[in-house]
Structure 1
């Protein structure tokens, strides 16, 4: 037991860690990371199964554009990112119904969002550091109101996903057979795109537009490689996403990174 304690003490200073956990901004950051890990972990296997990895990237770019617009006009960055992501999700879900049109629609939305976002950042007179956080996130800057917004949006995504999970899974694995069996695939596509958009917007404020794709895709891809069971894949994906989100933030406390 003493050896284990000594080994852990080389990586964590427990007294300092306990002190840090007492600060509200650390608690809010951990709650935000946990909410993002849970949502992205649940959605990631479906994103991979539906081959929507590129769509996540396009949604993140418009979420970045919405956040840049909110920063320019002095509005909530989280709400701006959410509005941009919802707009992207609706565009991708409605215009990309056919498989042969999806990539071109995503490419157009991605290019448009990135261009407008960069233009809005250029028009913003604030310091470069504030703009840079839209790309890589600022988890320690998450406020209590942001945590409330994140929690509410995460709860909405989880409830809708739970209600629609079986038809979503069926339509994801074989959309043609699902459509023939009466599953409303044309309705489920924009609905799922909207859920992905909300989850992506949550990630932009926490981990940034550049890294949100990693949380929305990698846990699901890894889980599907480990097991073929949808339930186990979802559980493993949540575990992987939580380890990435919470572990990445907690690694900041290691002596080597201070």
Structure 2
């Protein structure tokens, strides 16, 4: 059904609502793309939170905006700008030696913030230079499910498969290097190489996710499901699975609600993801009051969780 402003409205028949929504090819593509993005963000976001590189993830998400704007100014598809700028920025960040946990990574944070500020300003310059582009700013910044093509879904699937394959290969040593890089390096683990590889796949994942959530809110899908999962469990396999399930639920719910509302999907993604995160903290407080609090994840506790003393997978 339609409401007064011309947008679709809920009815009392959810089956009819779903049939109406999925009658449009762009919505079918949106749900397919959303599923791919959710799995990708859930997995790589878990590692990002564990490695305390949320600021780097936020910078890469911001860089997606000037990437898309610059590609449009150059007369090529925005998708090329997303990947070129995000992966390029990831390589620049990776070139800076990562400081230890104790020092807070000051040099890396300074370079990351500098890149973010400069490229964000460049994005607005690209918009000013390209007349008539202003109508697409909201979609670039806050996301849109309109106009998602089958080609975009296929590109997302290829990127996600490549990123997940890389993580499957390096996942175990990456986990070791993330929890205790000094010990990992002493045992011959290529910590610096793993850090570079991770940042590159994080950049690719950010570029892919930006096409659904928008450049400014991709960070929500990368960090909040992962942080929620690490609140619920300290076990890596369980945590990654929970992160994926939460990201998938948030994305699909956001797509459905955005279809029946005038507000951008990015707003709903952040709202539902924050609700899940708040609920996880509520559950933790209940467990703590009952004296049955689970071990906190490394990112939440500021130290290595209990599973680091034994098998990590």
Provide structure 2 residue ranges, at least 5 long, that are not aligned to the other structure.
1-9, 100-104, 264-313
Q: Please say if residues 11 and 17 of structure 2, whose CA atoms lie closer than 8 Å, have aligned partners that are also in contact.
A: no
Measured after TM superposition, the shift of residue 72 of structure 1 is 1.2
Residues 87-118 of structure 1: CA deviation (Å, up to 9, x unaligned): 01101111243333111011111111101111
Q: Please say if residues 127 and 133 of structure 2, whose CA atoms lie closer than 8 Å, have aligned partners that are also in contact.
A: no
Measured after TM superposition, the shift of residue 59 of structure 1 is 0.8
Q: Alignment partner of 1:102: what SS?
A: helix
| Corresponding residue for residue 66 of structure 1 | 67
- 1:180 maps onto 2:181 in alignment: no
Q: Higher helix proportion, which one?
A: 1
Q: Please say if residues 58 and 110 of structure 1, whose CA atoms lie closer than 8 Å, have aligned partners that are also in contact.
A: yes
| Corresponding residue for residue 282 of structure 2 | none
| Corresponding residue for residue 245 of structure 1 | 251
Q: Please say if residues 96 and 102 of structure 1, whose CA atoms lie closer than 8 Å, have aligned partners that are also in contact.
A: yes
Aligned partners of 1:118 and 1:137: how far apart in 2?
17
Which residue, 120, 123, 140 being the options, matches 2:126? 120
Matches within 5 A, 1:79-158: 79-98=80-99, 99-158=105-164
Of stretches 214-223 and 71-80 in structure 1, the one that deviates more from structure 2 is 71-80
With over 3 angstroms needed to count, the CA separation of the structure-2 counterparts of 1:69 and 1:29, relative to structure 1, is same
Of stretches 233-242 and 129-138 in structure 1, the one that deviates more from structure 2 is 129-138
Of stretches 84-93 and 121-130 in structure 1, the one that deviates more from structure 2 is 121-130
Residues 173-212 of structure 1: CA deviation (Å, up to 9, x unaligned): 1111111111100101110000110010012111101110
- TM-score of the superposed pair, with normalisation by structure 2: 0.76
Q: Please say if residues 60 and 213 of structure 1, whose CA atoms lie closer than 8 Å, have aligned partners that are also in contact.
A: yes
Aligned partners of 1:149 and 1:102: how far apart in 2?
31
Measured after TM superposition, the shift of residue 80 of structure 1 is 1.0
Q: Alignment partner of 1:114: what SS?
A: helix
| Corresponding residue for residue 300 of structure 2 | none
Measured after TM superposition, the shift of residue 142 of structure 1 is 1.3
Aligned partners of 2:216 and 2:144: how far apart in 1?
12
With over 3 angstroms needed to count, the CA separation of the structure-2 counterparts of 1:123 and 1:33, relative to structure 1, is same
- 1:54 maps onto 2:55 in alignment: yes
Q: Please say if residues 33 and 245 of structure 1, whose CA atoms lie closer than 8 Å, have aligned partners that are also in contact.
A: yes
Provide structure 1 residue ranges, at least 5 long, that are not aligned to the other structure.
1-8
Q: Alignment partner of 1:138: what SS?
A: coil
With over 3 angstroms needed to count, the CA separation of the structure-2 counterparts of 1:73 and 1:15, relative to structure 1, is same
Q: Please say if residues 63 and 215 of structure 2, whose CA atoms lie closer than 8 Å, have aligned partners that are also in contact.
A: no
Aligned partners of 1:250 and 1:204: how far apart in 2?
18
With over 3 angstroms needed to count, the CA separation of the structure-2 counterparts of 1:85 and 1:11, relative to structure 1, is farther
Q: How many residues align?
A: 249
Q: Alignment partner of 1:51: what SS?
A: coil
Aligned partners of 2:252 and 2:174: how far apart in 1?
28
| Corresponding residue for residue 23 of structure 1 | 24
Structure number with higher relative contact order (C-alpha < 8 Å, ≥ 6 residues apart):
1
